[in-house]
Amino acid sequence: MDRKQMCVANVQYKKPSDDGAKQSKNLLRYLTYRESRDEAARHVAGRERWVNHGMGDSVAEIAQCCDDLKSEHVLTFSLVCNPNPDLMAMIAPEDREQFVRELTERMVNGFFDERGLDTGVEFSYVLHHRLTDDPQTPGLHDPHTHIVLPGTVYDEEHGQRVPLFFSRNRKVNHIDLLHDVTERTMAEQMERYVGPDWEQRYDELTAVREQERAIAEAEPHGTMLDDKGASWDVWCGTRRTDEQQTAVGFYRWYAAATEDDPDAHRLEFRPLVGGLPHEQAAFFAQSFAQAMNGEMDKLQELAGLIGGMSADQREVLIAEMGGYEQPTRDVSPEFEL
């Protein structure tokens, strides 16, 4: 896999001004009381929201620490550590929180060790448990952390605090170093939690998805109108969600304009029924492609029928239609078990 896609690690900072202090406190409140833009925090009784490594464990404490340890130009730094949800899906649900906590602490400590800051840097972080909003794979567990750092660091040689900085030039590029440390740490974590074959398993998932996209090389199964009234070809197909589940939906070309290529388009998948076993998803995708008769409304109606069934009901329906190995007869929204 492309190891740059294993984990996102971004850095931002706030200035030591009245506006910067206000923005910083608003950020701390957001991180404390939200899981994402659309979801409030899921508090657990008896456990603090913040993990304190020297910056405090509440909005007030962290805000005060940021002010006490600011530099002339930086009030506070904030980092995001966001592992790839496809990789997180390989980890047992009960182990994911511990995985991300270990990843965060090892990443931060390893990064500053690489920079030669033996005294370490104070930090606090909060863990969020949002769900992905990627249109192709919505609803995947996407745990990640937000890390708060001070604007200064204690310099043992000078016996005082000095400005903390993140250089990005030809001589020293701390952002590249942060990414390198994050990638190495993530790979080590995956091997410990998943096993030495984790990368092979991810590559197999990617290969299956690439094969599924090849359906768009055949004749389209129908057309749809977008919100501007333009007509687009659609292909009914599947997209592997993870090692256990596949979604049924449709592929369509979407505008993906860039400055270099304003007419660029990208083939993307939109799920209609998720959480199906692989074989079952492939069966229904083939059946839908035959039964939709080129009509997008019919495809969505059929998907609604299957999505409203239990796993046992779907298996009964497959048997009634001839089974996995037999030619399927038509399925319609009027079909009754």
pLDDT (mean) for 116-124:
88
User: Residue 45: pLDDT band by 50, 70, 90 thresholds?
Assistant: very low
Neighbours of 15 (CB within 10 A): 17
pLDDT (mean) for 141-152:
96
3-state secondary structure of 59: helix
On the CB side of 1, how many CA atoms lie within 13 Å of its CA? 23
d(CA 234, CA 224): 7
CA nearest 83: which of 55, 102, 63?
A: 102
d(CA 43, CA 60): 18
For the chain, first and last CA: distance in Å? 44
- Residue 110 one-letter amino acid: G
Q: Mind listing the domains of the chain with CATH numbers? A: 3-196 (3.30.930), 217-320 (no CATH)
d(CA 236, CA 219): 11
Proportion of the chain above pLDDT 70, given as a percent: 94
What is the residue-averaged pLDDT of the chain?
A: 90
d(CA 136, CA 269): 5
User: Residue 46: pLDDT band by 50, 70, 90 thresholds?
Assistant: very low
